[in-house]
Amino acid sequence: MTEADLPALLAVADVVHPNYPEEPAVFEERLRLYPAGCLVLERAGKPIGYILSHPWHYARPPALNSLLGALPDRPGTYYIHDIALLPEARGTGSVTPLVERLIANARAGGFPNISLVAVNNSAGMWARYGFETVVDPALEPKLRSYDDDARFMVRGERP
């Protein structure tokens, strides 16, 4: 991902996540802080999806549409902030290599786990990749800020 990709990726986000809007500054900051975790999926030269991911604190997902400021000195998880695929990219197997790449990035970085907040009824898809829902009452207020279906999910060791 490059800064030049951001306008097209924001358009993807508008289609995929209309209920979870994020300012361009969120995308810009994630790219600046951790470019290795920001990826674009293209078909015929057109962006059809993206990933935003970065090291973070375990069980402390960032609030929606918020800036991080900096990455933690001692992260406890590799956090998947967002995977967004346009409808035409879904069901094509496109997500599998992306998730496998994230898992490889997390292993290479020595992270004990990968975590995310599943939205848009995606918990079943994440479960196919070994993610499990973590029920923690302390996380409930943040999860409800997304919607009633949001789930905190983890793949790997838990502290």
DSSP state of 87: G
Domain that holds residue 44: 3-156
The predicted structure's pLDDT at residue 97: 87
Structural domains in the chain (count) = 1
The predicted structure's pLDDT at residue 94: 78
Asked if 84 and 12 count as a contact pair (C-beta separation under 8 A), the reply is yes
Question: What CATH number did the domain enclosing 110 receive?
Answer: 3.40.630.30
Residues 66-101 pLDDT 10s: 999 999 999 999 999 999 999 888 777 778 888 998
CA pair distance 5, 72, nearest whole angstrom: 26
Query: Rounded to two decimals, what is the model's pTM?
Result: 0.94
CA pair distance 138, 155, nearest whole angstrom: 19
Residues 17-74 pLDDT 10s: 998 999 999 999 999 999 999 999 998 889 999 999 999 999 999 989 999 999 999 9
The predicted structure's pLDDT at residue 148: 86
